[in-house]
Amino acid sequence: MYLSRLTLTDFRNYKQLDLPLGPGLFLFHGANAQGKTNLLEAISMLATASSFHASNDREVVYWHAPDHVARLNGTVQRCEDSVQLEMIVFDPNPPILDADEPPTRTIELPPGASRKRYKVNGVPKRTMDMIGQMKVVLFAPADLHLVDGGPDERRRFLDRALCQVQPRYCQALVKYRKIVAQRSALLKRIRENQEDPTMLNYLDEQLTSLANQIVFERKRMVTTLNQQANKFQQSISGGREQLQIVYRPSFKLEENWTAFEAPQHFRAQLQTARKKEIMQGVCLLGPHRDELEFLVNGVSMMAYGSRGQQRTAALSAKLAELSFMHLSTGDQPILLLDDVFSELDTSRREYLLDQVVTYEQVMLTSTDTASFPSQILQRAHSYHIIDGTAQSAS
């Protein structure tokens, strides 16, 4: 699939952008702080309905947007059809940046109104129906820390891909997170003797049933990743390294448990952990505590990997994610590579380029085009990003 047009209004530092796109390779280059990452963030947001680097999605609204609203609009050509995606993000309280400025008006939202709204082909939709209409794989410098970074990053790696290919997964994940929050609050109240422990039974039932869906999808994804990732690791390391990605769910999961039996086993594990959970006032078991482990030649990369090995494993896992998305939907995802080449050495950079250039649509950002081979520069549509504008350079 590919994005054939993107328009932005008051999105970050883009006041107004109308960008014709198409299949092929796009290179967005420019100095620091001009809007390269913001552009990929907008594209990714149309696919996943949330920002990959804002702590709160309302941060994407241009600080001085007259109506406090950012508008994103994309036309996507898919295997079978084309689709028009629209999203608006509302920020009721923009930041005050200049003490001399008159204070910005605060706009009140009607109670219950959402800060983000979506339309697909002009028809209002729920978040769940927006996610996955367009599929992207984003590769940013932080992804090179997939192996040696925090566990949240690794869970996000699984969730971002699974949510886009399976709306049901996304639904389960959203509900699961709510249950974990409710259950943690309840555990604390029980600890303070304000509530009876039997109150947990209902939430345990909910938690284990949702956990079951999440765990089985994650397990399936990791199996598919493993069919691909080792191939990449071997090629990059000149055949010296074998990569294995191991899914370590926080609930003990036996290989022979069916999806029907597993929730009962999970409930039994919650029963055993109940005292400890009450004492600590937090949910200790479940997909929010799952882990992924990367083994190279059987050795844990988190504990013992060299920096090079960790990066190769991260790169291999991301390339495997790309195959996973393609295999799961039959349509190639749009590839967004934000400034990753500057972080890689020449051989890894060439390998990555080689793997990705054949994809239907690839968008690269860079401050420095000199690091790209001339055949890439020749075939890429180049845009110079300057202060929230994109100027065609090819």
Ligand X SMILES: Nc1ncnc2c1ncn2[C@@H]1O[C@H](COP(=O)(O)OP(=O)(O)OP(=O)(O)O)[C@@H](O)[C@H]1O
Fill in the DSSP letter of residue 332. Answer: P
Q: Do 76 and 2 contact (CB within 8 A), yes or no? A: yes
Select from 81, 90, 72, 60 the least CA-distant residue to 18.
Answer: 72
Q: Read off the amino acid at residue 340.
A: V
CB of 366 to Mg ion, least distance (A): 9
Which positions from 290 to 329 touch ligand X by CB under 6 A, shown as an x/- string? ----------------------------------------
- Beta-carbon contacts of 94 under 8 Å, excluding residues fewer than 6 positions away, are 61, 63, 64, 65, 68, 104
**Can you name the residues that pair with 80 across neighbouring β-strands?**
none
29 belongs to the binding site for ligand X (CB under 6 A): no
Output the smallest distance, CB 226 to ligand X, in A.
Answer: 33
Dihedral angle computed from the Cα positions of residues 47, 48, 52 and 57, in that order, rounded to the nearest 10 degrees: 110
Indicate whether 389 belongs to the interface with ligand X (CB under 6 A): no
51 binds ligand X (CB under 6 A): no
| Span near ligand X by CB under 6 A; candidates 44-52, 54-62, 163-171, 266-274 | 54-62
Q: Is 366 in the site for Mg ion (CB under 5 A)?
A: no
Residues touching Mg ion, count (CB under 5 A): 2
For 291, how many CA atoms within 13 A lie in the half-sphere containing its CB? 13
SS (H, E, C) 79-127: CCCEEEEEEEEECCCCCCCCCCCCCCCCCCCCCCCCCEEEEECCEEECH
Is 44 an interacting residue with respect to Mg ion (CB under 5 A)?
Answer: no
38 sits near ligand X (criterion: CB under 6 A): yes
Helices 151-165, 307-329: crossing angle, 10 deg rounding: 20
User: Of 52 and 247, which CB lies nearer to Mg ion in the complex structure?
Assistant: 52
Using the rule CB under 6 A, which residue among 7, 37, 73, 228 binds ligand X? 37
Q: Which does 125 bind (CB under 5 to 8 A by kind): ligand X, Mg ion, none?
A: none
Q: Residue 29 forms beta bridges with which residues?
A: 366, 384
Q: Which one, of 119, 97, 105, lies nearest residue 49 by Cα?
A: 119
Q: Considering only the stretches 33-41, 96-104, 131-139, 163-171, report the one whose residues sit in contact with Mg ion under the rule CB under 5 A.
A: 33-41
Identify which range of 28-36, 316-324, 355-363, 368-376 contacts ligand X by CB under 6 A: 28-36
x/- letters, 349..368, toward ligand X (CB under 6 A):
------------------x-
Q: Least distance in Å: CB of 34 to Mg ion?
A: 9
Considering the rule CB under 6 A, would residue 36 count as an interface residue with ligand X? Answer: yes
The yes or no reply on residue 316 touching Mg ion (CB under 5 A) is no
* Closest separation in Å from C-beta 50 to ligand X: 15
Count of residues touching ligand X (by CB under 6 A): 17
**Cβ distance 108 to 138 under 8 Å?**
no
Applying CB under 6 A, the residues found at the interface with ligand X are: 12-13, 30, 32-38, 59-63, 339, 367
Applying CB under 5 A, the residues found at the interface with Mg ion are: 36-37
